[in-house]
């Protein structure tokens, strides 16, 4: 089966309330995908975001982001009145998310929905709790404690609860019972709305591609509840943290700061935590893209406290043993491996042995190397081709600033791009015509948007993850043009 899809995060959907949600615009985007003949909608991680607003730094790998709960749907369910949320300040730029305004106002509104809905839906919520009891109680208590301790990281909490002493856990569960119930209820609402949207998409033959970061955030319920699974010292501080080594683009490397896994202990448990994590991800998505796949072959460990990633070292990862354990427990699941970055022989072998499709990014294809592996003539069927990812500039920005004259001419010649077609549709044609079974492009590239629409610039703080579509940008004419392109290369669902 040949197929194609569009990359658009939930936060980037239009909405009158500051950020994209699981509401009307999400359903309309599914309708757009159906008309455009697309079989896949790819999104970024949907966990609750923490400091910096990155979906790759979440308070929980299992929980969903309450920002995506649609307020109009809550009104339809009788949980909110229009006056509860319609006149609040959600930001003054329709094309950008104002996370500070969202943070200030969203939970006040959701609290009103909780106070009205929780007593009425207590039985359903309890059933939901039991279904997700392997993570939800720790997550809800974690969030309640963060509120109690002025949003400080768990490593700054009182010693007894920081170390999860049984008497401290029992005390705070009782002390913060209302807050814990509130955070559980938000997850109940989140999953209710997500599952309805996914069902709507699947009924229209649109599958959801989700994103699973390899690492979790240090300030997360995951690390607080399972410190033994991570490389922490006796004071619960990391010994080494994640990053990538220096290269041409980042002379000091990239210091991500996530705690690293204690893989030998994961192995002793039969990789139970990872199996539960993958089961959850492959349940809520149809296909899962595993971020930073190369880290399973070998990961880069930087001493905690270093200001950059220069002094890191490569350490052997769990390799195929992890994925074999997953397959024994879960059967075969639909997975895409993000195999970008420094690719050594062990990474190539792991990708081949796993059987997962890797990624080819066309923006990387026209550097001065005539046998570049990202050029379409070097693609294989078992891969996924992207014009660019959420970490790349838009095609406009890339074309204007990232290439020299020789590289631009190489791209024009290779793809036979004419002035009438233009670089955007020429690059899209190059991706769609590939032998790869699946090709995906960010919506920004179909809309020919500039640098202002870039989703993320790695190794920078502030200004990222804010891009939003404007209402009316997704026209029937655009859908029809995408469908014609997809039909031409036998990728259309129509």
Is residue 98 among the annotated active site residues? Answer: no
Is residue 338 among the annotated active site residues? Answer: yes
Residue 211: phi and psi, rounded to 5, are: -130, 125
How buried is 76 (Cβ within 10 angstroms: 0-12 exposed, 13-18 middle, 19+ buried)?
exposed
- Distance separating alpha carbons of residues 69 and 197, to the nearest angstrom: 11
Q: What is the token pair recorded at 450? A: 């500039």
Catalytic hit among 181, 346, 391, 421: 391
Q: How far is CA 330 from the centre of its chain?
A: 22
Q: Residue 441: name the closest of 47, 45, 96, 40 by CA.
A: 40
3-state helix, strand, coil in the chain (%, to 5): 45, 15, 45
Sign of CA dihedral 486, 487, 489, 490: positive
- Distance separating alpha carbons of residues 312 and 325, to the nearest angstrom: 29
Catalytic hit among 291, 339, 445, 483: 291
C-beta separation of 491 from 429 below 8 A: no
C-beta separation of 342 from 247 below 8 A: yes
**Residue spans of alpha helices (H) in 176-319:** 177-203, 221-225, 263-268, 272-284
Q: How many CB atoms lie within 10 A of CB 201?
A: 22
Please report the DSSP string for 382-415 in residue order. Answer: SEEEES--TTSPPHHHHHHHT--HHHHHHHHHHH
Catalytic hit among 338, 339, 445, 483: 338
Is residue 175 among the annotated active site residues? Answer: no
Q: What is the dihedral of CA 358, 9, 342, 461, to 10 degrees?
A: 180
Report, as residue numbers or ranges, the catalytic residues.
291, 338, 391
């Amino acid at each position: 089966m040949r197929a194609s899809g569009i990359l658009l995060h939930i936060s980037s959907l239009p909405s009158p309330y500051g950020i994209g949600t699981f509401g009307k615009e999400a359903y309309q985007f599914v309708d757009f995908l159906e008309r455009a003949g697309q079989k896949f909608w790819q999104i970024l991680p949907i966990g609750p975001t923490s400091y910096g607003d990155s979906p790759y730094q979440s308070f929980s790998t299992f929980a969903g982001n309450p920002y995506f709960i649609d307020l109009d749907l809550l009104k339809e369910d009788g949980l909110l009145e229009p006056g509860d949320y319609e006149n609040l300040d959600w930001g003054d730029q329709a094309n950008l998310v104002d996370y500070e305004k969202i943070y200030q106002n969203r939970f006040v509104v959701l609290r009103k929905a909780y106070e009205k809905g929780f007593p009425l839906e207590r039985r359903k919520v309890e059933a939901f709790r039991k279904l997700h009891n392997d993570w939800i109680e720790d997550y809800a208590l974690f969030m309640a404690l963060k509120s109690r301790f002025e949003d400080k990281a768990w490593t700054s909490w009182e010693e007894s609860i920081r170390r999860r002493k049984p008497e401290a856990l029992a005390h705070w569960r009782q002390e913060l019972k209302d807050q814990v119930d509130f955070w559980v209820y938000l997850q109940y609402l989140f999953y209710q709305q997500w599952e309805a949207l996914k069902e709507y998409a699947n009924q229209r033959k649109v599958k959801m591609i989700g994103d699973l970061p390899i690492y979790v955030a240090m300030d997360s319920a995951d690390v607080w509840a399972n410190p033994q699974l991570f490389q922490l010292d006796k004071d619960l501080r990391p010994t080494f943290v994640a990053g990538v080594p220096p290269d041409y683009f980042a002379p000091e490397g990239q210091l991500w700061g996530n705690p690293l896994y204690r893989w030998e202990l994961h192995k002793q448990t039969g990789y139970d935590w990872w199996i539960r994590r993958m089961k959850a991800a492959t349940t809520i998505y149809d296909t899962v893209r595993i971020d930073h796949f190369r880290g399973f072959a070998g990961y880069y460990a930087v001493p905690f406290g270093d200001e950059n990633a220069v002094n890191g070292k490569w350490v052997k990862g769990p390799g195929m043993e992890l994925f074999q354990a997953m397959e024994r427990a879960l059967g075969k699941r639909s997975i895409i491996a993000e195999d970008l970055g420094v690719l050594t022989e062990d990474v190539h072998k792991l990708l081949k042995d796993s059987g997962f499709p890797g990624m080819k990014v066309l923006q990387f294809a026209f550097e001065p190397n005539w046998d570049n592996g990202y050029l379409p003539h070097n693609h294989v069927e078992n891969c996924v081709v992207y014009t660019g990812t959420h970490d790349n500039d838009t095609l406009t920005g890339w074309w204007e600033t990232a290439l020299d004259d020789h590289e631009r001419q190489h791209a024009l010649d290779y793809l036979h791009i004419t002035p009438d077609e233009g670089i955007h549709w020429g690059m899209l044609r190059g991706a769609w015509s590939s032998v790869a079974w699946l090709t995906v492009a960010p919506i920004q590239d179909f809309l020919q948007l500039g640098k202002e629409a870039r989703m993320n610039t790695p190794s920078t703080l502030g200004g990222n993850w804010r891009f939003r579509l404007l209402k009316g940008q997704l026209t029937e004419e655009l859908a029809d043009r995408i469908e014609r392109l997809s039909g031409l290369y036998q990728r259309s669902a129509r």
